[in-house]
């Protein structure tokens, strides 16, 4: 059974979905009128608390059990995303290189686009080869805001 929670972030309402053992979706919600009420679960409360810390104090590392359905390639791409340090960016080609196949740039971009765990699996930290902001399902303005937020708070000492 899935449960839901919501968090009002500086860049919009976020819907968090969790099963019994893992967070399965963190996404921005555009239509707030159709938001169902969710059963409070400790895991959802923990996720909301960590997102709040990210936005308010620059939490650098998320410590949540997460799970999303995808191919083995997508799983590898998403694991690689979690290795990108807070406040830093890499390009899609670099992500493909780190995964062992520099020619898989387009496949990496497609996998990143299917990431259903926004912010916690930080696909917003992947940019074009020239440093341009490209490909963010929740809107490039949000990607820019998240990157600027991380740059501003990146000088905090220690990781929350």
Q: How many helices (H) and strands (E) does the chain have?
A: 5, 5
Give SS3 for 64. coil
Catalytic residue set: 123
User: CA nearest 91: which of 61, 131, 59?
Assistant: 131
Contacts of 13 (CB under 8 A, 6+ apart): 6, 7, 28, 29, 32, 35
User: What is the distance between the alpha carbons of residues 50 and 36, in angstroms, rounded to a whole number?
Assistant: 22
Give SS3 for 140. helix
DSSP 100-116: T-GGGHHHHHHHHHT--
């Amino acid at each position: 059974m899935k449960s839901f929670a919501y968090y009002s972030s500086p860049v919009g309402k976020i819907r968090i979905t969790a099963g019994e053992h893992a967070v399965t979706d963190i996404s921005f919600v555009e239509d707030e009128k159709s938001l169902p009420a969710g059963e409070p679960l400790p895991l959802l409360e923990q996720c909301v608390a960590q997102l709040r810390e990210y936005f308010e104090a620059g939490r650098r590392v998320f410590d949540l059990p997460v799970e999303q359905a995808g191919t083995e390639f997508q799983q590898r791409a998403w694991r690689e995303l979690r290795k990108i340090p807070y406040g830093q960016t890499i390009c899609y080609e670099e992500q493909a290189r780190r995964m062992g196949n520099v020619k898989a740039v387009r496949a990496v971009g497609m996998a990143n686009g299917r990431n259903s765990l926004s912010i916690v699996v930080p696909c917003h930290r992947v940019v074009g080869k020239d440093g341009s902001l490209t490909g963010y399902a929740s809107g490039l303005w949000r990607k820019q805001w998240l990157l600027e937020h991380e740059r501003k708070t990146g000088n905090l000492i220690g990781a929350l």
